[in-house]
Amino acid sequence: MPLRVYSTLTRDKKNFTEATGKKPGDTVAMYVCGPTVYKPSHIGHMVGPVIFDTVKRYLAYLGYNVKWVVNITDVDDKLIAQAEKLNTTVPELSARMTEDYFACLKSLNVTGIDTFPRATQHIGGMVDVINALIKKDYAYEVDDGVYFDVSKDDDYGKLSNRDPEQMESGTRMEPNAKKRNPGDFALWKSKPGEPKEVQFDSPFKCGRGRPGWHIECTCMAIALLGQTLDIHGGGLDLQFPHHENELAQSESWTGKAFAHVWMHNGLLKLKDKDGNEAKMAGSLGNVLNVADALKHVSGDALRFFMLKTHYRTPIDLGIWDWNNPGTPVPNGLVEAAESLQTFYRFFERFERITGASFFALDKSMLTNFGLDDPIQNEIKSLRTRFFEYMDDDFNTGGAVGVLYELISALNRFADQKRLEDPATGSREKTTLHVGTTVFRELSAVLGLFKSAPAKKSLDNGDELVSGLMQLLLDLRENLRTTAKGAVKDNPLKKPLFDQTDLIRKRLGELGVTLEDRPGGTTWRVG
């Protein structure tokens, strides 16, 4: 099945090659709206980057060359207000918050963004586009700015499917008595009282000022990727008015389609401790910054959480009692982190059996893939299903489900073949190696499990801890052997087994889990 992608503009799924005219080997131009860098990034800011990073990874897997641009809005009302509040300058604050954004992307393994244009680097281009729109009579000047005239654009509203009346009543409009229509939006704003570092020269009657938010994206997207993008992405909340306005001004200027495919990702949703829907908002004190979330869950857990549902649906954080220090993150994130343990336990088991680290596996083992035996056939069919999900509008939720099935198949195989037993033949171990390499190939498409999780404070690598644990395990093994060897009615048999259980229980209370396997007992933290 070829890749099919849903576009918000046409409201249906189309064959990607038919929608874009691009086939594997071609370059795909992808633009995703980036942040206004005035506060540290919260977890909601990472949803789009994680999703479109995965879109790029899959397109690259299929053989496309993806050029991905994410803009940085470094001049904006919110940024100016925040800089004033913090008694700093807009360039200083925006530079610092851009670094924070980059660090967050790195933590979530978002590595695919090729270019991050800053709005302030493209002011000249924006002035040119605004001039062209004035000349074409799509824009008009007033004494404090330049506005786009929505009534001149016949198909204005086609992306968000709204008629002008709905737009006027339903959304925050920029108030200005001099506008011709309530829905007209600013392309250029002149506010003489603003700091000089956010005022730029212009040929317009209003003089020095700064661009509107929407024109920034139009200008930077077209400057870096051409007049028609293959994919334009962003959060569902940007569909109107931001994307509608980007589209209107771009197409009015170029006379060409602005994007072949418009992709909108769903947003985070949250409930308070009483189970009522809640917003994540500064006024409620429940904005979860990425840096704070990472103190409690890993970057992999955050990424996994964002990919385990289909990207067009809301992502459910679950319940969060955010005023309670005992619940520093929503339960949806805690559950995502716990789910990952299934995978990490398997990686450890794989290493015990084969001596190889999951995190060092490369594709070379895949040359052995394809033998006609039951487990390889099962792996093959799961791999096919993984790609069927990804071909169906990047259904990462379905693809994550296949990863679980694959781990469960590999664990079952290891159990049945008693792979921990040193006497087991190497052929079965090679099969496990191949199947695990397939798992690594698929999880890499989702950008997951790039490196081993950080160990908690009780570190298996600590020599003394390892030595003491081994001593404890040896003593427990002696107790078990004696208990097993004792005749059925020996009164000591049960107390001996009770002692081994007590050791397991007490270690469990300390966060240490024991696993009894045919080759011996192992331990892990968590």
Residue 96 CA to its chain's centroid (Å): 22
Instruction: Give the nearer residue to Zn ion in terms of CB position, either 198 or 217.
Output: 217
Q: Residue 33, interface with Zn ion (CB under 5 A)? A: yes
Cis peptide before 241 (omega within 30 of 0): yes
- The nearest distance, CB 242 to Zn ion, in angstroms, is 5
Interface map 288-307 toward Zn ion (x if CB under 5 A)? --------------------
Choices 30-38, 126-134, 188-196, 456-464; region in contact with Zn ion by CB under 5 A: 30-38
Instruction: Give the nearer residue to Zn ion in terms of CB position, either 174 or 405.
Output: 174
Instruction: Give the nearer residue to Zn ion in terms of CB position, either 247 or 407.
Output: 247
Choices 215-223, 371-379, 396-404, 445-453; region in contact with Zn ion by CB under 5 A: 215-223
| Angle of helix 331-354 versus helix 396-416 axis, rounded to 10 | 40
- The nearest distance, CB 216 to Zn ion, in angstroms, is 7
Q: Tell me the CA distances in angstroms from 442 to 107, 317, 336, 398, 448, one per residue in order.
A: 20, 25, 19, 12, 9
- The nearest distance, CB 464 to Zn ion, in angstroms, is 55
Instruction: Give the nearer residue to Zn ion in terms of CB position, either 48 or 330.
Output: 48
Choices 26-34, 81-89, 91-99, 438-446; region in contact with Zn ion by CB under 5 A: 26-34
- The nearest distance, CB 248 to Zn ion, in angstroms, is 13
Separation between Cα atoms, residue 453 and residue 456, nearest integer Å: 9
Question: φ and ψ at 156, to 5 degrees?
Answer: -60, 130
Size of the site for Zn ion (CB under 5 A): 2
Cis peptide before 330 (omega within 30 of 0): no
- The nearest distance, CB 35 to Zn ion, in angstroms, is 11
Choices 28-36, 276-284, 304-312, 474-482; region in contact with Zn ion by CB under 5 A: 28-36
Name the residue among 179, 188, 184 with its Cα closest to residue 209: 188
Choices 33-41, 168-176, 272-280, 469-477; region in contact with Zn ion by CB under 5 A: 33-41
Q: Tokens 């015990």 map to which residue?
A: 352
Contacts of 238 (CB under 8 A, 6+ apart): 33, 264
Choices 119-127, 147-155, 216-224, 457-465; region in contact with Zn ion by CB under 5 A: 216-224
Bridge partners, 139 (sequence order): 148
- The nearest distance, CB 241 to Zn ion, in angstroms, is 11
| Angle of helix 244-254 versus helix 213-225 axis, rounded to 10 | 50
Contacts of 361 (CB under 8 A, 6+ apart): 436, 437, 440
Neighbours of 87 (CB within 10 A): 6
Instruction: Give the nearer residue to Zn ion in terms of CB position, either 34 or 435.
Output: 34
Q: Which amino acid is at 66?
A: V
- The nearest distance, CB 238 to Zn ion, in angstroms, is 6
Note the maximum CA span of the chain: 102
Separation between Cα atoms, residue 236 and residue 233, nearest integer Å: 9
Q: Residue 219, interface with Zn ion (CB under 5 A)? A: no
Q: Residue 217, interface with Zn ion (CB under 5 A)? A: yes
- The nearest distance, CB 183 to Zn ion, in angstroms, is 18
Name the residue among 292, 275, 452 with its Cα closest to residue 359: 452
Instruction: Give the nearer residue to Zn ion in terms of CB position, either 53 or 246.
Output: 246
Pairing of strands 210-211, 229-235: unpaired
Three-state DSSP at 434 gives helix
Choices 120-128, 209-217, 382-390, 441-449; region in contact with Zn ion by CB under 5 A: 209-217
Interface map 168-207 toward Zn ion (x if CB under 5 A)? ----------------------------------------
Instruction: Give the nearer residue to Zn ion in terms of CB position, either 188 or 386.
Output: 188
Q: Tell me the CA distances in angstroms from 481 to 476, 485, 492, 504, 523, one per residue in order.
A: 9, 6, 13, 16, 19
Contact set with Zn ion (CB under 5 A): 33, 217
